[in-house]
């Protein structure tokens, strides 16, 4: 029991560090620390310091689904790998 809690704690602490959005854990809230300077991402509000909720990652090179404010957006893997977030 104690061991399991430790593992969970470690997982959470790894999320508080900088990590790319694609590999960040699903179902958690993050703050964007770095985003590619792309018009459409900027327009949708994926900018530095934006608060996002990562919903899920699609397998086999699929996109990342996230919620920002009240809007749901899917972002392709190649962009999601370039967006850095912290937990």
Partner 1 sequence: MASCHEILEDAAIFEKENKILLMGNPNVGKSVFFSQLTGLQVVSSNYAGTTVTYTEGTMELGGKQYTLIDVPGTYSLEAVSEAEAVAVRFMESNPLAVLCVLDSTNLERNIKLGLELQRFNVPIVYALNLVDVAQRHGVQIDVAKLSRALGAPVVPTVAVKGEGFQNLLAELEKIPSEPGLRPKFPPVQGDLWTRAKEIASQVRVNVSGELSFLDRLGEAMLKPWPGIPIALLVILASLGAIVGGGKALRAVLLLPLVNNVLVPFFKALFASFIPEGIFLNVLVGEYGVFVIGFEWIIALILPYVFLFYVVFSFLEDSGFLPRLSVLFDGIMRKLGVQGGSMITIMMGYGCAVPAIIGSRTATTKKERLIISAAVCFGVPCISQTGALISLFANFSPLLLVLMLLLSLAVMATVALVLSRVIKGDVDPMVIEIPNLLMPNGKAYGKKLMLRMRGFLVDAEGPMLLSILIAAGLKETGLLDMVAVHLEPIVSGWLGLPKDAVIALILGIVRREMAVAPLLAIQGLTALQAFVGGTVALLYLPCLSVFGILAKEFNAKVAVAIGVSTAISALLVAGIINQVAQLFI
The answer to whether 25 contacts partner 1 (rule: CB under 8 A) is no
Length of the chain: 87
Interatomic CA distance for residues 73 and 84, integer angstroms: 16
| CB 32, min distance to partner 1, A | 12
Size of the site for partner 1 (CB under 8 A): 31
List phi, psi (to 5°) of 40.
-65, -35
Q: Does 27 bind partner 1 (CB under 8 A)?
A: no
The residue whose two tokens read 């993050």 is 30
Q: Report, in Å, the least distance between residue 42 CB and partner 1.
A: 7
Which residues inside 53-82 make contact with partner 1, applying CB under 8 A? Answer: 55-56, 58-63, 65, 69-80
- Dihedral sign (CA 78, 18, 39, 49): positive
Q: Interface residues with partner 1 (CB under 8 A)?
A: 38-45, 47, 50, 55-56, 58-63, 65, 69-80
């Amino acid at each position: 029991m104690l061991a399991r809690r430790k593992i969970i704690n470690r997982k959470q602490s790894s999320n508080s560090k900088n990590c790319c959005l694609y590999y960040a854990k699903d179902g958690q809230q993050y703050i964007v620390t770095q985003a590619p300077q792309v018009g459409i991402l900027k327009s949708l509000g994926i900018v530095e310091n934006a608060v996002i909720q990562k919903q899920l990652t699609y397998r086999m090179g699929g996109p990342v689904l996230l919620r920002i404010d009240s809007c749901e957006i899917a972002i392709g893997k190649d962009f999601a790998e370039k967006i850095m977030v912290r937990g």
